Amino acid sequence: MRLSDLFTLAFNNLRRRKTRTFLTILGVVIGTASIVVMVSLGLGMSQMMLKSFQSEGSLTIIRVYESYENRENNSKNKAQYELTDENIDMFSSLDHVISVSPSIEVNVSAKCNGYDGSFTICGVSQYYLSQLSLREGGTIPKNDQGQLSLIYGNQILYNSFYKPSSYDSIDVDPDKDTIFITFPQSSYTEKTNKTADESTVSKPVKKYIFPVTGIIAGGKEDWSSNSYNAYADIDTLKRFLRKLYKKALVPNPRTNKNGKAYNYYVYDTAYVFVDSMDNVKEVQNTISDLGFNVSSNMEWLESAQQSLNMVQMVLGGIGGVSLLVAAIGIMNTMMMSIYERTKEIGVMKVLGCDMADIKNMFLFESGIIGLMGGIAGLMVSYLISYIINFFTSSGSNDTVSMFIGYNDGGSLSYIPPWLAVFAIIFAIAVGSIAGYLPAVRAMKLSPLAAIRNE
């Protein structure tokens, strides 16, 4: 039998019993729509979460700190666990690592228009600087310059300067306002040079003005892990600090057993850039096994996503149950249809209709029920999804974002194309599977049913 004939036969048979077909399809519509809407909620939530994590900082960066235990431990090979240049180089040689940036962090205080402020200047590598997203027109400081220049985090402009008396914060515009920066006193004094050191204390603290090459992208309401810091090129910063702190290199250097400051850099933090999100975990474990403390946003994302997966499974399960009920409905309809058409099937067999054709005819019928239910269910899903997003994005924004934790403009319900395609294929598959048993039963009916006269 031709496919087109099979299809027409199946379609006409469904049309013969419009009400029953409609009701069966309605079951599939509800089943499909509930699965699609539930999954779309899960996907939307996970997408919103990913967005909110991404806005807080890159997901492919691992932060490495010196382990606290190793710091206390005074063993000989202490340097093995310090964030030295050697270790930074070692990190860069790991698989999947694109670049490693050490970070020298100096807490500075600043004054602007009579307001006080404080923030941290982070000296980082050129690669790190190039990863920062700046406001339009901003450039990153060049490597190893004579003059230190800074990138300001956007929140420094809005949230870091206070009137000492009232704690009123003010907005600062680095283009117009001059920011005077003072570096902290060195905590380190060379014993041999005590008198000279005392004389420096009495000196008035020097104020610096640095050119600003850029501002981290974002306005008053945008926060990210970079918002509260100022960034500088690490080599330029090192050069600058050497002038300021001489042999100590940094404001509060570590000392060896003799009380002398280290003559090499030990960084506070190292940032490891990994090539893709999938490899973050692996690299993180490797570095952790070397004896360092590590953290990454990926960790948070993973644990959050794990719990969200759970939610997604529960939601999908609820949808699945209704589709299961719809499948039973299809089966029931097909069974009834076969009992009604026993004689007709018998006649077809007597007249030479292949067994496979009879089976396929019934499979087509249930498949068409699945297909129509799937398409209609998908349309209903898009409608429900639109309504959900409409209400969550405007009207009751506060309550909903409170309920789900965050809402930064993403949509709560998200139906990607693959979900739409999957839903229809799934509905057809459910229809065909539910119709399989009745179809086989129809195929096995005796042709003698045609002869019997009731």
**Residue ranges binding another protein (CB under 8 A):** 1-2, 5, 12-13, 16, 343-344, 347-355, 357, 446-448, 450-451, 453
Nearer to another protein by C-beta: 347 or 420? 347
The DSSP line for 112-155 is ETTEEEEEEEEEE-HHHHHHSPBPTT--PPPTT-SS--EEE-HH
Nearer to another protein by C-beta: 316 or 447? 447
Tokens standing for residue 18: 């419009």
Nearer to another protein by C-beta: 34 or 333? 333
| Minimum distance from residue 373 beta carbon to another protein (Å) | 22
β-strand partners of 233: 124
Nearer to another protein by C-beta: 5 or 171? 5
To the nearest 10 degrees (0 to 180), the angle between helices 355-390 and 18-56 is 50
| Minimum distance from residue 32 beta carbon to another protein (Å) | 28
Instruction: Answer for the pair 231, 129: CB distance below 8 angstroms, yes or no.
Output: yes
| Minimum distance from residue 434 beta carbon to another protein (Å) | 23
Instruction: Answer for the pair 202, 227: CB distance below 8 angstroms, yes or no.
Output: no
Nearer to another protein by C-beta: 75 or 453? 453
β-strand partners of 345: none
Which of these, 194, 207, 189, 180, lies nearest to 252 by C-alpha position?
189
Nearer to another protein by C-beta: 319 or 346? 346
Residues in the chain: 454
| Minimum distance from residue 357 beta carbon to another protein (Å) | 7
- How far apart (Å, rounded) are the C-alpha atoms in residues 151 and 122? 10
Nearer to another protein by C-beta: 105 or 357? 357
What DSSP element (H or E) covers 422? helix 417-444
Nearer to another protein by C-beta: 402 or 451? 451
| Minimum distance from residue 333 beta carbon to another protein (Å) | 17
**How many alpha carbons fall within 13 Å on the CB side of residue 323?**
27
**Rg of the Cα trace of the chain?**
35
| Minimum distance from residue 331 beta carbon to another protein (Å) | 22
Q: Is 190 helix (H, G, I), strand (E, B) or coil?
A: coil
| Minimum distance from residue 435 beta carbon to another protein (Å) | 19
Nearer to another protein by C-beta: 340 or 408? 340
Nearer to another protein by C-beta: 164 or 352? 352
List phi, psi (to 5°) of 292: -115, 155
- How far apart (Å, rounded) are the C-alpha atoms in residues 203 and 422? 74
What DSSP element (H or E) covers 424? helix 417-444
| Minimum distance from residue 399 beta carbon to another protein (Å) | 55
| Minimum distance from residue 442 beta carbon to another protein (Å) | 14
| Minimum distance from residue 353 beta carbon to another protein (Å) | 4
| Minimum distance from residue 363 beta carbon to another protein (Å) | 17
Tokens standing for residue 34: 């509930």
Nearer to another protein by C-beta: 209 or 351? 351
Cα torsion 237, 67, 54, 117: sign: negative
**How many alpha carbons fall within 13 Å on the CB side of residue 297?**
19
β-strand partners of 102: 270
| Minimum distance from residue 370 beta carbon to another protein (Å) | 22
- How far apart (Å, rounded) are the C-alpha atoms in residues 298 and 4? 53
The DSSP line for 67-93 is -HHHHH---GGGGGGS--HHHHHHHHT
- How far apart (Å, rounded) are the C-alpha atoms in residues 224 and 53? 9
Instruction: Answer for the pair 125, 108: CB distance below 8 angstroms, yes or no.
Output: no
Nearer to another protein by C-beta: 12 or 80? 12
